[in-house]
Amino acid sequence: MFQINRRRWIANAVATAGLELTARPTRAQSRTNAVWEQSIRAGLDYLAREQSARGQWNTPMYPTALAALAGTALICSGSTTTQGPYAQQIARCTDFLISKCRPNGLIGDPITDARYTYGHGFSMLMLSQVLGEEGYEDRRKELLDVLVRAVNFCCLAQTKAGGWGYVSAADGSDFDEGSTTITQVQGLRACRNAGIAVAAEVIERAKNYIYECKNSDGGISYSSKQLGTSRPAITAAALAALYNAGNYDGQHVPEMLEYSRKRLHNNLADEGSAFGHWHYTYLYYSQVVYRQGDQLWLPFRDRLYDRIVSEQASDGSWPGQISPVYITACNLIMLQLDRGLLPIYQR
């Protein structure tokens, strides 16, 4: 059933784009492009320059979340905490995130990280990817301790409905919503991939939460507490999280794929389709398309990457919502998906 549904979705997406299933643009045959590579290096160099000596980035909002996202963008390059041109920056970021782990397992600060579950989820993802390449035994033990406690905190922070809110269920009166739920699911899956135990029940409840938020058009609502208009951004993120959770088909995924395809696949310039969250939307939708295979990914990648590169500033950053560090990190993760170096983003 999975193969049939996925083939149908790929065929529809390619046909809608006006392409033959057997044809690919010549430039898309290559996974390397000098313009893209130059843009990636400029962006990575920008993040490296902007990092403070403490390992964080001085941003007005979400310091833990943006540090984790920026660190993830750096490790997508192939550098580790000990090797590569960005090793020093990755090591500093790792130290910073470890220092933010509280006794209860939360990675973040309830005061400076107002919506601290974003930072917690992104930190679980980043640190779990570092763990697999960490060469120092003492550091590995420290990372394992932090991640085990982080997973436990995350599981306890889950709401009765199976989602997560901007803060833990206890701190947020059991409120939940889609965007933070996705960060927790992806972070938990990244930890599980790294060998850290995650209760299957927690993931199953999260999957059911996503299904409960699905509307008849295939899109996902903002929250189980506020069912209403479908959100393309949350739908794309939910698909990526479901893939991470091992759910590639079933009753709901094909409908969510079709909803996302119609609104996002050929409308890269349409900010309205992303509800003002273009970079968040395509950070996740690019992961969804990448997992479909090269037939769909390569033509889409060319259009996506060309748009991203065209908007880069002369200093290597990308301006935009929240912070240039946030936009730059999101764009660099997308631009480096093709490298396939991080387990959480691999096919």
Q: Is residue 23 part of a domain?
A: no
Element holding 203 (H helix, E strand): helix 200-212
Is 261 in contact with 289 (CB distance < 8 Å)? Answer: no
pTM: 0.90
pLDDT at 135: 78
194, 314, 207, 294: which is closest to 253 by C-alpha?
A: 207
The whole-number average pLDDT for the span 320-329 is 94
Q: Is residue 115 part of a domain?
A: yes
List the structure tokens of 136. Answer: 């120092």
- Which residues are registered as beta bridge partners of 57? 51
- Which residues are registered as beta bridge partners of 101? 107
Q: Domain range spanning residue 101? A: 2-18+47-345
Q: Is residue 31 part of a domain?
A: no
Q: State the CATH number of the domain containing residue 101.
A: 1.50.10.20
CA distances from 171 to 12, 63, 120 (A): 44, 20, 15
What is the rounded CA–CA span in Å between residue 43 and residue 37? Answer: 10
List the structure tokens of 227. Answer: 């069912």
Judge whether residue 97 has pLDDT over 90: yes
What is the rounded CA–CA span in Å between residue 316 and residue 177? Answer: 33
Q: Which amino acid is at 274?
A: A
Domain count, the chain: 1
Residue position matching structure tokens 């436990």: 152
Q: Is residue 286 part of a domain?
A: yes
Q: Is residue 184 part of a domain?
A: yes
- Per-residue pLDDT reduced to its tens digit, 4-52: 344 444 445 544 444 333 333 334 445 679 999 999 999 999 999 999 9
What is the rounded CA–CA span in Å between residue 123 and residue 5? Answer: 34
Q: Is residue 245 part of a domain?
A: yes
Q: Is residue 39 part of a domain?
A: no
Q: Is residue 314 part of a domain?
A: yes
